[in-house]
Structure 1
């Protein structure tokens, strides 16, 4: 193990975007949630079985500073990230609702416009919500409904699966470590790109998966491993970043279109090709393993990033209760 790989693992462990997910374990413990409870907490969306398939429910609340610094973009993101959560589950979104707090209607206008613009771009209707024009500051939460025929969960990765990443590199950093590939994209492309996930799921090509969230590739891989009760090796040399973005930053960046997928080895080439045909970078970046260790590898050099058995991350494995 060389200092370079070990230093990278340590830097990622300490990064705020990755450590922010640790609060989920506290909330899970307070609510008494476990990964095998109703809705499967720990997934990108809650999943409820019905006579026709599965209903999906998801929601996002936003950091007040982010909302107030760029209200229009926050509104856009409120739609975008929720739709990505539904797609990650192999689902198709059906409707959005918003919750807006603002001192008055004028200050809320850019936020509302961002919501409307994104809903129109992605072709998913905003059907109502809750609004308060007597709040002390601007803030936002957005929820989404969806449906899935063959849902993709965070709990079904198996040792021996190939770990794939599919990320749209046709974008730029907008703020913080948010890499957005949606703002200049044609609307039909946005819709077609998201539709690919449920199409692959319906063909039973995806074993497990997650939307790449604020924890980036590293944090999302850890969440997937913990939920499934497995380990993984991330092969750093196989992870491509766009436009010369340093690998360390890319590993904790939040792409507007990005998924980690565990697939059977026989399906890996077909899944990657489906994304590449839409201009989306997709490649194997590792392997799902036995155990609980997520390891970084570069050539023959390795370093432990996280062992979720020794140090729980979400504490939402289906095999263990959540701890506060």
Structure 2
């Protein structure tokens, strides 16, 4: 069985000290000549050296690993955020472990416990809201944690999320500007008071009131994804069906578009549509879809910055805050 190559062997091959090899491995090149770097690189390649991550972790008391628990990886928003978070942590020398909770608190609990057992240096969580005791324990232990997309009332944990009231307002304003007054909103289930969904409904109501339009309860619908086709059937069976539909997220938008196609309804002639969250096909769908976008890269950058600050901070009692980023409307032809 081949023995593991050591830093000492790399140093001897490259004719440098072990500390110089260590600096190279940690990407600290400031006091290292180009020829030294090249010799170390050549020695590593010749000897087929691989750093001992476990030994490094024990020595530096860090695993250089963070966990990300996403509520539902099917959302285009989630995959865009994850890609940006992974890039950010890779640039900072960290690996990430991605877990998908499927909006199930028990699954989220299992992942949190598993990641803590693996001694990750911190967590970014899109919280289900169903594990308050675990969130509180991490907070009390000063364990580095950042919430993404959803806030948990009563917990002082750094949180990065969208200004959801503004997102709904941008959509309602666009509908009204195009002379649509009978406006419906559909979101996925709010059974656990998932903050983006609740806040988008609140923003929708406030925007209607600002325009002097009535808030009609029959136009406000929430349901699990598999029930949305039935919700749409009920909406269009109303004596006054909506002229416009605000889809609260990309999963709802896809269900709305399926219904329109299946029932030969033309967008925007029969009903106008705006979705919150950009989707890959929005610009070339027929007609191209108006959407409210989230600044996913900026949100990922902020979450990375906040978690790294906690990981590196000696002051574990730093002030926490909710950081809300601003949405944008991309006007196309669906309203």
Tell me the TM-score range normalised by the shorter chain: under 0.3
TM-score of the pair, normalised by structure 1: 0.24
- TM value normalised by structure 2: 0.23
Q: Which has the higher helix share?
A: 2
Which structure is higher in strand share?
A: 1
